[in-house]
Amino acid sequence: MISTAEASRAIANSMPAFDSGTVALEDATGRILRQIVTAERDQPPFDRVTMDGIAIRFDSFAAGQREFLIQGTQHAGDPVQSLDEDRHCIEIMTGGVLPRGTDCVIPVERISVADGVANLEEGYVPKQHQFIHPQGSDHALGHEVLNPGTRISPMDIAVIASCGLDRVEVNRQPAIRVISTGNELVPPGEPIESHQIRLSNGPALVAMLSQQGFVDTAHEHLIDEPKLLQVRLASLLQECDVLILSGGVSMGKADFVPQVLTELGVKVVFHKISQRPGKPMWFGIGPNNQAVFALPGNPVSTLVCCRQYVLPALLMASGGDKLLPETARLSEDVKFNADLTCFLPVRVSSEYDGIVSATPVPTNTSGDFASLTGTDGYVELAREQSEFSAGSVVPLHRWSNP
């Protein structure tokens, strides 16, 4: 049985890369950037005024002048004006170009205007170059403002727009098909008998995927019938880049998934990881390079395996940068005796000293997914150790930050 680290490595080494395509800017949030974005112009593109007020020549103030004849008004978006005479000023609005011949902006709060003349407030002493955001001081034309691998945030959208791009190259959406297997499962909205179980993994997996920007997903439920599984999975393999199954990978008499996948030409990369929950996980690569993740059906196992293995693999294949690993400090002692890596669900809080603290939220069994509501993720407790004292620093995996 391979370790958790070996499983991650094996997936990373066998995942095919997804290609890229362009999307409109309004569809780009959350996608992985696949191009360099370079500055269209200097930023700011001109000496930009940062206050409503008047622009003057500072030397005139230094020479004792306190009253300035208003020569004209220049709004943001107006072509640049020039000072005709040193003793003049130009009314100027925030976001406008600094008028030629001026080098100081006096805020409107510091002047009074009468008969077309601006008078400085008694005793007010401006500084040369004040309230001017100099051309190119943020960055120069051609500067690489964003690099491939960035998950595009709303702030990045502002930067991309400022570079004049209305389309941007991002990861192509992989076609992902999600299958819940199990005779006992009944989807929400349908009548249910006392011996049956609500199908919850499929909707949760689709939700986890969509939270990470993977929206070309479709879910369906299949019963544990090898022939039917074979026919349907064969057809789904034709239409997808990624197949995610839940259930049917353990040692039960109705666990047909590994066998059926193998018969369909999906080459097993590994089966079983030394971890709890999620030990029976299976991973393989299909005949057309499809990534096939077969997750154990227990709901906690399904969610942990999706967060731990599926999402990082999809983001990597999409060209995404690897995020820095996070750690947290255990808030209480934990014992875990099995010779397995333990993924323990936690609630996270930030302590007064800025340290992230993780409070274990034990699940009854790996079927107790109701306890997961309100958790922020899980900590990883090393297989080699069985006792972890309060204060131990351990790897933290947040649900939302794969």
Q: Is residue 278 near ligand AMP by the rule CB under 6 A?
A: no
Instruction: Give, as ranges, the residues between 138 and 197 that touch ligand AMP (CB under 6 A).
Output: 180, 182, 184-185, 197
> Minimal distance in Å, beta carbon 257 to ligand AMP?
8
Could you tell me if 344 and 386 are in contact, meaning their C-beta atoms sit under 8 angstroms apart? no
Rounded Cα gap, residues 71 and 126, in angstroms: 20
> Minimal distance in Å, beta carbon 247 to Mg ion?
4
Could you tell me if 258 and 295 are in contact, meaning their C-beta atoms sit under 8 angstroms apart? no
Q: Is residue 258 near Mg ion by the rule CB under 5 A?
A: no
Q: Which is nearer to Mg ion, 204 or 394 (CB)?
A: 204
Q: Is residue 78 near ligand AMP by the rule CB under 6 A?
A: no
* Total interface residues for Mg ion by CB under 5 A: 4
Could you tell me if 361 and 349 are in contact, meaning their C-beta atoms sit under 8 angstroms apart? no
Element (H, E) at 12: helix 4-14
296 interface partner picked from Mg ion, ligand AMP, none, CB below 5 to 8 A per type: ligand AMP
Rounded Cα gap, residues 318 and 163, in angstroms: 23
> Minimal distance in Å, beta carbon 273 to ligand AMP?
14
184 interface partner picked from ligand AMP, Mg ion, none, CB below 5 to 8 A per type: ligand AMP
201 interface partner picked from Mg ion, ligand AMP, none, CB below 5 to 8 A per type: ligand AMP
Q: Name the burial class of residue 25, with classes exposed (0-12), middle (13-18) and buried (19+) by CB atoms within 10 angstroms of its CB.
A: middle
Rounded Cα gap, residues 86 and 103, in angstroms: 11
Q: Is residue 217 near ligand AMP by the rule CB under 6 A?
A: no
Instruction: Give, as ranges, the residues between 362 and 381 that touch ligand AMP (CB under 6 A).
Output: 367
212 interface partner picked from Mg ion, ligand AMP, none, CB below 5 to 8 A per type: none
The residue within the footprint of Mg ion, chosen from 99, 247, 286, 377 (CB under 5 A), is 247
β-partners of residue 217 are: 176
Please give the backbone phi and psi of residue 228, each rounded to the nearest 5 degrees, phi first: -65, -45
The residue within the footprint of ligand AMP, chosen from 250, 262, 327, 386 (CB under 6 A), is 250
Which residue type occupies 114? A
Q: Is residue 199 near ligand AMP by the rule CB under 6 A?
A: yes
DSSP code per residue over 329-342: EESS-EE--SSSEE
Q: Residue 45: left if φ>0, alpha if ψ -120 to 50, beta else—which one?
A: alpha
SS3 at position 287: coil
Distances (CA, A) of 88 to 50, 107, 109, 127, 128: 20, 16, 19, 18, 16
SS3 at position 291: strand
User: What length is written for the chain?
Assistant: 402
* Total interface residues for ligand AMP by CB under 6 A: 19
Could you tell me if 293 and 383 are in contact, meaning their C-beta atoms sit under 8 angstroms apart? no
> Which part of the chain contacts Mg ion (CB under 5 A), choosing from 174-182, 319-327, 350-358, 382-390?
174-182
Q: Is residue 298 near ligand AMP by the rule CB under 6 A?
A: yes
Q: Is residue 277 near ligand AMP by the rule CB under 6 A?
A: no
Q: Which is nearer to Mg ion, 182 or 402 (CB)?
A: 182
Q: Which is nearer to ligand AMP, 57 or 219 (CB)?
A: 219
Strands 37-38 and 144-146 turn out to be antiparallel
Q: Is residue 297 near ligand AMP by the rule CB under 6 A?
A: yes
| Sign of the torsion formed by the C-alpha atoms of 38, 40, 44 and 47 | positive
The whole-angstrom distance between residue 74's C-alpha and the CA centroid of its chain comes to 42
Query: Which residue, judged by CB position, is nearest to ligand AMP in the bound state?
Result: 297
The residue within the footprint of ligand AMP, chosen from 252, 265, 287, 391 (CB under 6 A), is 252
> Minimal distance in Å, beta carbon 46 to ligand AMP?
59
Q: Quick one: tokens of 10?
A: 């094996």
Q: Which is nearer to Mg ion, 126 or 299 (CB)?
A: 299
Residues that bind Mg ion (CB under 5 A): 182, 247-248, 297
Residues that bind ligand AMP (CB under 6 A): 180, 182, 184-185, 197, 199-202, 246-248, 250, 252, 296-299, 367
